[in-house]
Amino acid sequence: MLRRTCKEVAALLVAREDRELSAVDRLALRLHLAACKACPDFERQILTMRNAFARWRNYQEGD
């Protein structure tokens, strides 16, 4: 029930940027990230992108 494929996890990581995940999704995500080698890299890429976007937005608003 908590098992997710890498494809599903990638979709959850993207969805998480837009909406709050359910408790089950968050737990499944955490379990998968702890066990998978590839998905933590993808998560890091998303976080890097989010930070870059937040900086860009701050820059725009600070003008």
Minimum gap (Å) between residue 39 Cβ and Zn ion: 3
Residue that has been written with the tokens 């998560």 in this structure: 43
Q: How far apart are CA 61 and CA 11, in angstroms?
A: 30
CB-wise, 21 or 36, nearer to Zn ion?
36
Minimum gap (Å) between residue 46 Cβ and Zn ion: 13
Residue-wise DSSP of 12-32: HHHHHTTSPPPHHHHHHHHHH
Point out the residue whose Cβ comes nearest to Zn ion.
36
CB-wise, 27 or 52, nearer to Zn ion?
27
> What residue ranges bind Zn ion (CB under 5 A)?
6, 36, 39
